[in-house]
Amino acid sequence: MKGTKTKRKAALKHLNEHLTEHVHKAGNEGILELICYNETSITFHNNIPIEELLLKCDEDQTSWINVDGLTDEGLIQKISKHFNLHYLLVEDVLNTDHQPKADEFEDHLFFTLKMLYRIEGESIDYEHISFVLGKNYLLSFQEKEGDIFDNLRSRLKQDNGIIRKRGADYLLYRLIDSIVDSYYSILDSIGQRIEAIEDNISKSATELDFIEIQKLRKEFIYLRKVVYPLREALNKVIKNEEGFIEERNEKYFSDVYDHVIHLIDSLDTYKDLTSTLMDLYMNTINYRMNEVMKLLTVITTIFIPLSFIAGVYGMNFHNMPELEMHYGYYWILGIMGAIFLAMIGYFKYKKWF
């Protein structure tokens, strides 16, 4: 069975690598981080044995356990045993190519999505992030070290926000919100590239513009895979009836949901813009081709008849009276000039240049 699982993962990895420049981190030790907090107190712990994990926090405290690196399967197995995580849930945590989704289990809510980075050379990289929300704890699993949550950590440390007053569900909201916000910078860069391509094409359309448009289309294909399922996943969280989310916090998840709808809408808008871009490219190429054809036709149409006339008087018949006329040559030159001018006039009238 292991064999087929690996095969399945391989197939998906293949697809995603085709669309992104995903860098799979080599297997090293996972990093464990524990934060216990309530309205009045907060403590930070690093790399403590899992057995002592929950003992570290008081009962009225919310605990946030963050794991960096998914290759240390031993660590994750231990955590899953500790928190009684379902076999299928762990599988989804480890499968870094899994789509965003929310899933309810008996005593926790599972949520997984992608963190997106734009890396050098304008390609997208992603990180697989999963959350497990329990009664008063939140587990977060990140594929790679380093994250965008430092801001949140420092907010937790200072006790000025409402973040310390609310439970693990509000923390989950803040984490998801940070990630969704990061999508907007991807969106923005897409917008900038569309404008750049538009400028290029209106100056001079080259095959490079086409390749750029193709690249954008691939990115839309990838983003659709990553962003669209998020809507349904968030909807599932909001509609959830098991009470994992407190009623007063639902408004916040609705707000993230709103942002995701907005993101999808903006992606669709950009997709439409890209398709008008494609048309613009095609039309420009086509227009230039027409110009080329017109030039060919103008030149050919003017000179082929003239050459014919020259050809006629280049014939070697003995009896060609025109050849002996004193001004024959000038007459013919005149006639040629007249034809030339008539042609030019005709093409001007037809607005060929």
Residues 137-196 that bind a second copy (CB under 8 A): 151, 155, 178, 181-182, 184-185, 187-188, 191-192, 194-195
- Does 297 participate in binding a second copy (rule CB under 8 A)? yes
Q: How far is the CB of 228 from a second copy (least distance, A)?
A: 9
Contacts of 166 (CB under 8 A, 6+ apart): 246, 249
Which of 39, 44, 287, 338 binds a second copy (CB under 8 A)? It is 287
Cα radius of gyration rounded to whole Å, the chain:
34
326 binds a second copy (CB under 8 A): yes
The stretch near a second copy (CB under 8 A) out of 14-22, 42-50, 112-120, 234-242 is: 14-22
Count residues near a second copy (CB under 8 A).
101
Cα distances (Å, whole numbers) of residue 161 to 59, 154, 155, 157, 295: 22, 11, 7, 10, 71
Q: Is 183 exposed, middle or buried (0-12, 13-18, 19+ CB in 10 A)?
A: buried
Using CB under 8 A as the binding rule, whether residue 15 contacts a second copy is answered as yes
Residue from 48, 119, 208, 295 touching a second copy (CB under 8 A): that is 295
Q: Which of 11, 208, 341, 342 binds a second copy (CB under 8 A)?
A: 11
- The CB-side HSE value for 127 (13 A sphere, CA atoms) comes to 24
CA quadruple 191, 193, 199, 205: dihedral sign: negative
Q: Distances in Å between the alpha carbon of 44 and those of 2, 53, 65?
A: 37, 12, 10
Phi, psi (rounded to 5 degrees) for 97:
-105, 10
3-state helix, strand, coil in the chain (%, to 5): 60, 15, 25
Contact 160, 109 (CB under 8 A): no
Stretch that binds a second copy, among 56-64, 69-77, 123-131, 306-314 (CB under 8 A): 306-314
Which helix (H) or strand (E) segment holds residue 92: the answer is: helix 87-94
Site map 100..139 versus a second copy, x via CB under 8 A: -x--------------------------------------
Q: Per-residue contact track with a second copy, 251 to 280, x per CB under 8 A? A: xx--x--xx--x--xx--xx-xx--x-xxx
Which of residues 31 and 264 has its CB atom nearest to a second copy in the complex?
264
Which span (66-74, 107-115, 139-147, 204-212) binds a second copy, by CB under 8 A?
204-212
- Minimum CB distance to a second copy, residue 9 (Å): 8
> What span, in angstroms and rounded, lies between the C-alpha atoms of 329 and 295?
29
353 binds a second copy (CB under 8 A): no
Instruction: Judge whether 10 and 2 are in contact, CB under 8 Å.
Output: no
- State the nearest-atom distance from the C-beta of 97 to a second copy, in Å: 9
Check binding of 307 to a second copy (CB under 8 A): yes
Min dist CB 107 to a second copy, Å, is: 14
Question: SS3 string of 266-321?
Answer: HHHHHHHHHHHHHHHHHHHHHHHHHHHHHHHHHHHHHHHHHHHHHHHCCCCCCCCH
Q: Does 296 bind a second copy (CB under 8 A)?
A: yes
Binding-site member from 52, 158, 214, 239 for a second copy (CB under 8 A): 214
